[in-house]
Amino acid sequence: MTIKHNVAILGASGYTGAETIRLVHGHPNLELKALSGHSRAGQKLSDTYPNFGDMMIQKWEDIDFSEIDVVFACLPHGASQETIAQIKDKVGTIVDLSADFRLSDPVLYEQTYGRPHAFIDLLGTAVYGLTEYAKADLQGADLIACPGCYPTCSLLSLLPGIEAGLFQMDNIIIDAKSGVTGAGRKAKEGLIYSEVADGAHAYGVGTHRHAPEIDQMLTRISGQKSLVSFTPHLIPMNRGMITTAYARLAKGVSFDQVTKTYQARYKDEPFVRLMDSVPQTRHVRGSNLFGLGIFQDRVPGQVILVGVIDNLVKGSAGQAIQNYNVAQGWGETLGLEALPVFP
């Protein structure tokens, strides 16, 4: 008999919260017990998302956490750490989908987010949950920081080459594009239909907060200081993400070495697909898959890495559940086996 773990989802009315609800419903070992949403407390979930049932949304303060095994915190950046600090000792595991525990250096956190971290003691205990590179650390973890969607796609593209010393560290360029759900559900003028349809634009140029997160992991794996050039773009689609990374080969490294290294590193990873064709966001839509194409540039000694994910699944809710599966010693793919939706 399967013993189910009770789940609370905080911030259930946002896109990430809704995606977590959808995936939890399909997980054989998880049972949804509580939902919170500050602005929609007292309403039925179906009032916000008619595709779901009539479970009530409440304030997180009213949840009985003694009945909860795992919390998926889908709260806004800044608000998440305040809530997590108050419930940390009441539940077995917290999986944070915000940015509040991704950066291990409190000084870097303050520089990046413009405010000091209020719970530095907790910051040092969080496991950075890029699952394919964190499995040992995730075993039994009680606070997991899920990477951002841009870092997930960028890092999975670059890390095998960085780990093996195949790429130079001083000239990495990442061109990234995301669907509008990556910006959240809150009403903003720049996200209304007439502002985003029929066009695309760069934003956070030279300053985006995910760049230090990418640098942190590249530095950790390589042992060398990383400073990537990272530019995100918003494109008119609901979900999906594509990153194109450019890396210079280290002296004496061949393109054949690169492809063999990636094949060896990812051959046993259930959610990584190395593709011979150019990856497209539609190839992974609705799934927890990461698709990667590795190409030799016309510029001598340069490699182009094209990665795709669904920003709400592998870039957020799916990776969160994947992390919890690993933390519990369950099958890594449990509840995440759904194939991509096409068209």
For 238-286, write each residue's pLDDT tens digit.
999 999 999 999 999 999 999 999 999 999 999 999 999 999 999 999 9
What is the pTM assigned to this prediction? 0.95
Q: Which helix (H) or strand (E) holds 94?
A: strand 93-96
Per-residue pLDDT at 191: 72
Chain centroid to Cα 302, Å, comes to: 27
Q: Is residue 317 part of a domain?
A: no
User: How far is 174 from 247, CA to CA, in rounded Å?
Assistant: 9
C-alpha gyration radius of the chain: 20
Domain that holds residue 287: 150-311
Mean pLDDT on 191-218: 90
Of 36-45, 138-147, 155-164, 295-304, minimum mean pLDDT range: 36-45
Instruction: Verify that 82 and 163 share a domain, yes or no.
Output: no
Q: Is residue 316 part of a domain?
A: no
* DSSP, res 44: B
Per-residue pLDDT at 274: 98
Read off the CATH number of the domain in which 280 is found: 3.30.360.10
Residues in the chain: 343
User: How far is 45 from 336, CA to CA, in rounded Å?
Assistant: 23
Read off the CATH number of the domain in which 120 is found: 3.40.50.720
- At residue 170, what is the residue type? D
Instruction: Verify that 197 and 298 share a domain, yes or no.
Output: yes
The interaxial angle of helices 15-25 and 318-328, nearest 10 deg, is: 50
59, 41 in Cβ contact below 8 A?
yes
Instruction: Verify that 23 and 102 share a domain, yes or no.
Output: yes
Of 116-120, 137-141, 186-190, 227-231, minimum mean pLDDT range: 186-190
Q: Is residue 23 part of a domain?
A: yes
Q: Shortest CA distance to 12 belongs to which of 66, 69, 90, 71?
A: 71
User: How far is 71 from 57, CA to CA, in rounded Å?
Assistant: 15
Q: Shortest CA distance to 31 belongs to which of 41, 42, 16, 21?
A: 21
Instruction: Verify that 174 and 302 share a domain, yes or no.
Output: yes
277, 293 in Cβ contact below 8 A?
yes
Of 30-44, 107-121, 184-198, 281-295, minimum mean pLDDT range: 184-198
Instruction: Verify that 177 and 75 share a domain, yes or no.
Output: no
Tell me what the pLDDT averaged over the chain comes to: 94
Q: Is residue 27 part of a domain?
A: yes
Name 178's Cβ contacts closer than 8 Å, sequence gap at least 6.
Answer: 149, 150, 232, 233, 234, 235, 240, 241, 311
Mean pLDDT on 303-327: 98
Instruction: Verify that 77 and 214 share a domain, yes or no.
Output: no
Beta bridge partners of 93: 70
Check pLDDT > 70 for residue 325: yes
Check pLDDT > 70 for residue 51: yes
Q: Which of 74, 146, 149, 153 is catalytic?
A: 149
Instruction: Verify that 115 and 157 share a domain, yes or no.
Output: no
Per-residue pLDDT at 201: 93
Chain centroid to Cα 87, Å, comes to: 22
Check pLDDT > 80 for residue 8: yes
Instruction: Verify that 98 and 176 share a domain, yes or no.
Output: no
Check pLDDT > 90 for residue 78: no
Instruction: Verify that 113 and 157 share a domain, yes or no.
Output: no
SS3 state at 88: helix
Q: Is residue 102 part of a domain?
A: yes
Question: Domains in the chain: how many in total?
Answer: 2
pLDDT bin (cut points 50, 70, 90) of residue 184 is low
Percentage of the chain surpassing pLDDT 70? 97
Q: Is 149 a catalytic residue?
A: yes
Q: Shortest CA distance to 122 belongs to which of 157, 152, 151, 89?
A: 89
Q: Shortest CA distance to 68 belongs to which of 44, 95, 45, 46?
A: 95
Per-residue pLDDT at 187: 62
Token digits for 13? 């009315």
Mean pLDDT on 25-48: 92
Mean pLDDT on 205-230: 96
Instruction: Verify that 107 and 182 share a domain, yes or no.
Output: no
pLDDT bin (cut points 50, 70, 90) of residue 183 is low
What's the pLDDT tens digit per position in 113-135?
Answer: 999 999 999 998 999 999 999 99
Token digits for 30? 């998880």
User: How far is 129 from 145, CA to CA, in rounded Å?
Assistant: 6
SS3 state at 6: strand
How many helices (H) and strands (E) the chain has is answered by 11, 14
Instruction: Verify that 265 and 156 share a domain, yes or no.
Output: yes
Q: Is residue 333 part of a domain?
A: no
Q: Is residue 335 part of a domain?
A: no
Burial per residue of 30-40, b for 16 or more beta-carbon CB atoms within 10 angstroms, e otherwise: bebbbbbbbeb
Instruction: Verify that 109 and 240 share a domain, yes or no.
Output: no
Chain centroid to Cα 93, Å, comes to: 18
User: How far is 108 from 175, CA to CA, in rounded Å?
Assistant: 23
Check pLDDT > 80 for residue 192: no
Q: Is residue 283 part of a domain?
A: yes
